[in-house]
A and B are shown apart, each in its own frame.
Chain A
Amino acid sequence: MSLRLFVSRDAGAIAVGADEVALALEQAAARRGVAIEIVRTGSRGMYWLEPLVEVATPQGRIAFGPITEADVPSLLDALSNNTPHLLRLGATDEIPWLKRQTRLTFARCGVIDPRSLDDYRAHGGYKGLERALSLGTDATLDEIIASGLRGRGGAGFPTGIKWKTVAQAKADRKFIVCNADEGDSGTFADRMIMEGDPFLVIEGMTIAGLTVGATKGYIYIRSEYPHAVEAMNAAIVAARRGGYLGSKIGGSTYRFDLEVRVGAGAYVCGEETSLLESLEGRRGIVRAKPPLPAHHGLFGKPTVINNVLSFAAVPFILAEGAKTYADYGMGRSRGTMPIQLAGNLRYGGLFETAFGVTLGELVDDIGGGTITGRPVRAVQVGGPLGAYFPRALFDTPFDYEAFAARDGLIGHGGIVVFDDSVDMRRQARFAMEFCAIESCGKCTPCRIGSTRGVETIEKIINGERVHENLALVEDLCSTMKFGSLCALGGFTPYPVLSALKHFREDFVPVPITLQAAE
Chain B
Amino acid sequence: MTASYEPWDETRGAEIIAEHANQEGATLVILHALQQAFGYVPEAAIPMVAKALNLSRAEVHGVFTFYHDFRHKPAGRHVLKLCRAEACQAAGGDALAARAEAKLGVSLGSTTPDDRVTLEPIYCLGLCATAPSAMLDGRLIGRLDQKRLDALIVEAQR
| Cβ of A370 to closest chain B Cβ, rounded Å | 9
- Total A-B pairs, Cβ < 8 A: 150
B27: Cβ under 8 A from any A Cβ: yes
Residues of A within 8 A of B90 (CB): 342-344, 416-419, 422
Q: Is A434 touching B142 in the complex (CB atoms < 8 A)?
A: no
Query: Among the interface residues B53, B125, B128, which one has the most CB atoms of the partner chain A within 10 A?
Result: B128
The residues in A between 271 and 285 inclusive whose CB is less than 8 angstroms from any CB of B are 278-284
The answer to whether B129 touches A264 (Cβ under 8 A) is no
Task: Please state if A262 and B32 are interface contacts (CB–CB under 8 Å).
Answer: yes
Question: Are A261 and B91 in touch, CB under 8 angstroms?
Answer: no
Which chain B residues border A191 with CB–CB below 8 Å?
126
Query: What is the size category of the interface that chain B forms with chain A?
Result: 35 or more
A14 close to B (CB within 8 Å): yes
Contact of A414 among B24, B123, B128 (CB under 8 A): B128
Interface: A186 (CB within 8 A)? yes
**B69 contacts which chain A residues (CB < 8 A)?**
223, 263-265
Report chain A residues within 8 Å CB of B67.
263-266, 284
* A-contacting residues, B61-81, CB 8 Å: 62-63, 66-70
**Residue in contact with B130 in the complex, picked from A12, A186, A265, CB distance below 8 Å:** A12
Among the stretches A55-63, A177-185, A231-239, A389-397, the one at the interface with B is A177-185
From B26, B31, B53, B140, residue with most partner A Cβ within 10 Å: B140
Is A188 part of the contact surface with B, judged by Cβ < 8 Å?
yes
Chain B neighbourhood of A187, CB < 8 A: 124, 126, 128
CB-based contact A15/B128 at 8 Å: no
Docked complex: B20-39 residues within 8 A CB-CB of A? 24-29, 31-32
Main secondary structure, interface of A, reads mixed
B152 beta carbon closer than 8 Å to chain A: no
Q: How far is the CA of A340 from the CA of B90 in the complex (A)?
A: 15
Number of interface residues of A (CB under 8 A): 60
Q: Does B131 contact A (CB under 8 A)?
A: yes
Taken residue by residue from 406 to 450, chain A's Cβ proximity to chain B (1 for < 8 Å, 0 otherwise) reads as 000000001011110010001100100010011000000000000
B36 to chain A, nearest CB (A): 10
> Which residues of A sit under 8 angstroms from B138, Cβ to Cβ?
226
Question: Restricting to A177-233, which residues have a CB under 8 Å from any CB of B?
Answer: 182-188, 190-191, 223-226
For residue A280, which residues in chain B have a CB less than 8 angstroms away from its CB?
Answer: 24-25
A264 and B130 contacting across the interface, CB-CB below 8 Å: no
Whether B27 and A47, one on each chain, are in contact in the complex, defined by CB atoms closer than 8 angstroms, is: no
What are 14 A-B pairs at a CB distance below 8 A? Answer: A11-B126, A11-B140, A47-B130, A185-B88, A224-B124, A263-B69, A265-B69, A281-B29, A281-B63, A299-B25, A344-B91, A416-B87, A419-B90, A426-B94
A residues adjacent to B (C-beta < 8 A): 11-12, 14-16, 47-48, 50, 182-188, 190-191, 223-226, 261-267, 278-284, 299, 340-345, 348-350, 371, 380, 384, 414, 416-419, 422, 426-427, 430, 434, 437-438
